[in-house]
Structure 1
Amino acid sequence: MAETFRQPLGGGSLIVAWQAKARRILIVGGGAVAAGRAFNALEADAHVTVVAPELCPELAHRAAAGRIEWQERKFEDADLDAADMVLTAISDAQESRRIAGLCRQRRIPVNAADINDLCDFWFMSTHRDHSVQIAVSTNSKAPRLANRIRQQIAAALPRGTGLAVEQIGRLRKRIREADPAPENSKRRMTWLTQLCDYWPVEQLVTLDSDNIDSLLDAYVQNHDPQHVSITSSAASRPTLRPPSSSSESSSGMPSPVLPIRANGIAHPAGRRGRLVLVGAGVGDPELLTMRAHKALKDADIVLADKLIPEPVLGIVGCEIYTARKFPGAANEAQDDLYQRALEELGRGRCVVRLKQGDPFVYGRGAEEILFFRAHGYEAEVVPGLTSAINGPGLCGIPVTHRGVADQVLVLSGANRNGDLPAVPPFVATRTLVILMAVKRLERVVALLRQSDHPAELPVAIVERAGCADQRTVRGTLATIAGVVERAGHNAPGLIVAGHAVNVLSDAAIQDQYLDPSTLGLHSAE
């Protein structure tokens, strides 16, 4: 008889979302790894107890704030009496094995850091946006690669996905309250399913209280969610309309009607090509200049740097050719872009060269101007916001502040020969911004210490500023390398060092600027 059902492949893990609220999680160890485990457990609203003779600064801060319970001693067998889950993060492998054995005897789930065969479960690489959580597991085979996979998945999500989920959650609760009958469960589910399937996430995220009321009325009156038309009360918001039923995908279901500009039309004979050098800014398409928006819409082809964020590329309606820039092959990739640009310009096309940030701030913009000028083309320049100044600002770090920082020094972490920059002696009122150097953070720290920068100097790693998954990792010159080692790094990023890093308190900036994955300590805490 032919097999009609899927066959399990084997070798995987059972992926679940553990409901840890109010559960008692015991962490054995007080170092950086234990701090990461504690952070994850607190995000899940668990009750956390840490057993360790000493605590790292982050755990000490959480203990002082009453977020965790600290037993200032080594592990004792009786500690398991009140534990629902155990996480060991100690360097003594033999003791970890002993604790894991005790847990198995008591049927307590256990994870032992860096000892895979002892683990009942592993921690995955996670992305969180409000109630949306995405986890990637490589079954402990390639955890660093899991980070890259997770970053790519998160970058592909529409901006505001987490907020859209929150809004649908509100609507679902209102519908259940208005129509609580158990026999209507299928109707409630079907109606919400259609709403989620047919409305673009970008529209769902803009729903406000009035819109929720209107959608609830539509449900009560049994209106098809595909045909509900909602207009936002806020003047700045667009009219929210679900997809028209006349526009269908290959599956026969209505698809979002998106504006698409037809480009690539042949130019009249003899028309000269046009070249525009555009700065993509810090990643948020809303922070592009109006001239940049117009240039991208008018382009026949866009030649883009490798790490241009997807939301910016999403507003382009023509062909996008991406530079394949990899370590050791940057010059070859640059030559490839030059050649492609000259070919397109020779065809009389409008070519936009799209570069990250501002092309003239460590972007080789002037080199490209000189190259094309030598070949008879004068580029129009459209500047962009530079991450050196605006990246920190988007993450709540003013690079200048009266009485704290009266100067800013911007350095490239890789000069023409790939070397680290020369750093001048420490000045207490200077904010130092280093681009393209996070992967060599330990060497940068050593370089700063050699130039008399104090160990307690506040440092922040600003990652993907302006993108939906922007993150700020904080510490001091003495601790930042360890924090980044634990938290991982989401390129592109930059280093900010100076007392301006901690000018704004968490209370002032948490909701507006920082996401839940922000790590590290402020000096004022």
Structure 2
Amino acid sequence: MSQTFRDPQGGGSLIVAWQAKSRSILIVGGGSVAAGRVFNALEADACVTVVAPELCPELEYRASAKQITWHPRKFEDGDLKTADMVLTAIGDAAESRRIADLCHTLRIPVNAADINDLCDFWFMSTHRDHSVQIAVSTNSKAPRLANRIRRQIASALPRGTGLAVDKIGNLRKRIREADSKPENSKRRMTWLTQLCDYWPIEQLAKLDNDNIDLLLDAYVQNHDPQSVHIPNDAMSLSSSSGMPSPVLRGQMEDTPAVMETRKGRLVLVGAGVGDPELLTVRAHNVLKQADIVLADKLIPEPVLDIIKCEIYTARKFPGVATEAQEDLYRRGLEELAKGKCVVRLKQGDPFVYGRGGEEILFFRQHGYEAEVVPGLTSAINGPGLCGIPVTHRGVADQVLVLSGANRNGDLPTVPSYLATRTLVILMAVKRLSQVVELLRDRDFPADLPVAIVERAGCADQRTVRGTLETIVDVVEQAGHNAPGLIVAGHAVNLLSNAAIQDHFLDPTTSGLQSTE
């Protein structure tokens, strides 16, 4: 008999979305790991009880806000009487094992942090956007890599994916209310399937109540969803795929001559360091005037949120940066040929290791001269926002800014150590150990202060500090949140010598104590 069905691969987990609303979840432990478990449970609308002699600041807040029930003591066997699920997050492995054994006897699902053989299930690296939840599991083999995979998946989603799901959920509910006959379930499903498959996600996200009324009427009148036209001022003409929107295509085809004869406007804008309030006034004005924004992959969400037109994002991942840049060039020329105002939005300042000059030369060759709106560069302003003055009288009288990779991907050439110089290296944190070896070869002292400045200007900015001798181990323990840069020099600790600064981390994280 020939085989027509797939053989199971084995070694995986049964991935489910557990309905925890109003279920009782017991969490044993009061530290930062427990706080993460509590947050996940609360997002699932569970009833959360925490048993621990002491609580970290986050759990103290949640207890005072009555988001959780707290028993200020150690675990007791009777705590399991009303539990639908148990999560342990304590440092006592023997006690964790005892609690897990009790749970298994009572058939209560249990997870013991960092003790995989005791767990009935594992927590995954998750992305949440309204009703959309994406979870990545490596089956406990590489949880840190799961975070990286999750970030790459999330970054590839069209903007507004979560909103689109909510809008479709609203429309689906209204259709069921208008046509509740069981025998029409196939018609409802077919119509909604065509809508979801045909319309760009970005435009589904922009549906308002009037648009949903139009779609509901189209369903009631038995019109194909492809025939529905949304007013031109309600949506962008294009989707992130670069193709004209099918729901607006007819309106675009009405005015081809106008689109062919107008000459587009190109503006190269620096997005600065992350905070939209740190954009220049001119940058704000240009972004409001744009018809389309071609954005770098790492532009922070708060900056993107002020943009009202279509955003086309460069998917610049290692190994495909050249192809991504060519894709941006292609899309830019297409939109300029239509007479559009095209804004090329680049992180930091376009001319500080941002390839801004290359882009100007490319578009100039095709007949378009770019206007330039500078932005705050992370090389100078990033350290400043995190409390590091790159120059300080009597300490540092010069700054050297280097890129972590030249055109061939090699590390930069670093001059010999000079005590009065602050060294800033961009785009090199992932090669930190190699950078440290390079600096040692150039006679940089082992006790020289070094800082990793992460996501400067964003709400979750962080500074991780150490010395040339310790910084690799410190970052390995604390983890890294891109984008970041390396700062080395005696100016690093002038305003603070805390090992780590991050108000989103418990001070005991990885054993790094903060004095702030």
Show CA shifts across 1:165-207 (max 9, x none). 1111111111111111222111111111111010000111110
SS in 2 for 1:190: helix
Which residue number corresponds to residue 231 of structure 1? 231
Which residue number corresponds to residue 93 of structure 1? 93
Which runs of structure 2 are paired with 1:357-396 in the superposition (5 Å)?
Answer: 357-360=348-351, 363=353, 382-386=372-376
- Paired residue type of 1:472: D
Query: Structure 1 stretches of 5 or more lacking a match?
Result: 248-258, 260-275, 298-303, 327-332, 338-351, 373-378, 393-398, 400-404, 425-432, 444-449, 452-459, 466-470, 478-483, 498-517
Q: CA deviation at 1:278?
A: 6.7
Which residue number corresponds to residue 122 of structure 1? 122
Query: Structure 2 stretches of 5 or more lacking a match?
Result: 239-243, 251-255, 257-266, 277-282, 326-342, 363-368, 392-398, 403-411, 437-447, 466-474, 487-491, 493-502, 507-516
8 Å contact kept, 2:135–2:150? yes
8 Å contact kept, 1:279–1:292? no
Which residue number corresponds to residue 5 of structure 1? 5
Q: CA deviation at 1:127?
A: 0.4
- Paired residue type of 1:168: I
Which runs of structure 2 are paired with 1:209-228 in the superposition (5 Å)?
Answer: 209-228=209-228
Distance in 2, Cα, partners of 1:418 & 1:88? 51
Which runs of structure 2 are paired with 1:235-314 in the superposition (5 Å)?
Answer: 235=233, 237-238=235-236, 243=246, 279=270, 289=286
Distance in 2, Cα, partners of 1:90 & 1:436? 37
Which runs of structure 2 are paired with 1:15-26 in the superposition (5 Å)?
Answer: 15-26=15-26
Show CA shifts across 1:265-306 (max 9, x none). xxxxxxxxxxx987466799x979579979999xxxxxx988
Which residue number corresponds to residue 145 of structure 2? 145
Q: CA RMSD in A?
A: 5.9
User: Among the aligned pairs, what percent are the same residue?
Assistant: 63
Which residue number corresponds to residue 333 of structure 2? none
Structure 2 CA distance for partners of 1:489 and 1:323, relative to 1, 3 Å: closer
8 Å contact kept, 1:231–1:238? no
Which residue number corresponds to residue 79 of structure 1? 79
Q: CA deviation at 1:97?
A: 0.7
Distance in 2, Cα, partners of 1:114 & 1:217? 54
SS in 1 for 2:101: helix
Show CA shifts across 1:123-180 (max 9, x none). 0000010000000000010111111111111001001111111111111111111111
8 Å contact kept, 1:30–1:56? yes
State which of 449, 460, 465 in structure 2 corresponds to 1:472.
460
- Paired residue type of 2:121: F
- Paired residue type of 2:190: T
Structure 2 CA distance for partners of 1:62 and 1:383, relative to 1, 3 Å: same
Structure 2 CA distance for partners of 1:236 and 1:177, relative to 1, 3 Å: closer
Distance in 2, Cα, partners of 1:129 & 1:421? 48
Distance in 2, Cα, partners of 1:32 & 1:413? 38
Q: CA deviation at 1:237?
A: 3.9
Structure 2 CA distance for partners of 1:363 and 1:420, relative to 1, 3 Å: farther
So what's the TM-score if we normalise by structure 2? 0.60
Show CA shifts across 1:471-492 (max 9, x none). 7378999xxxxxx999965422
Structure 2 CA distance for partners of 1:380 and 1:164, relative to 1, 3 Å: closer
Structure 2 CA distance for partners of 1:39 and 1:421, relative to 1, 3 Å: farther
Structure 2 CA distance for partners of 1:10 and 1:210, relative to 1, 3 Å: same
So what's the TM-score if we normalise by structure 1? 0.59
Distance in 2, Cα, partners of 1:99 & 1:37? 17
Q: CA deviation at 1:309?
A: 8.9
Distance in 2, Cα, partners of 1:418 & 1:138? 43
SS in 1 for 2:70: strand
SS in 2 for 1:82: coil
Distance in 1, Cα, partners of 2:357 & 2:188? 60
Is 1:161 aligned to 2:161, yes or no?
A: yes
SS in 1 for 2:78: helix
Show CA shifts across 1:78-132 (max 9, x none). 1111111111111111111111000000000000111111110000000010000
Which residue number corresponds to residue 347 of structure 2? 356
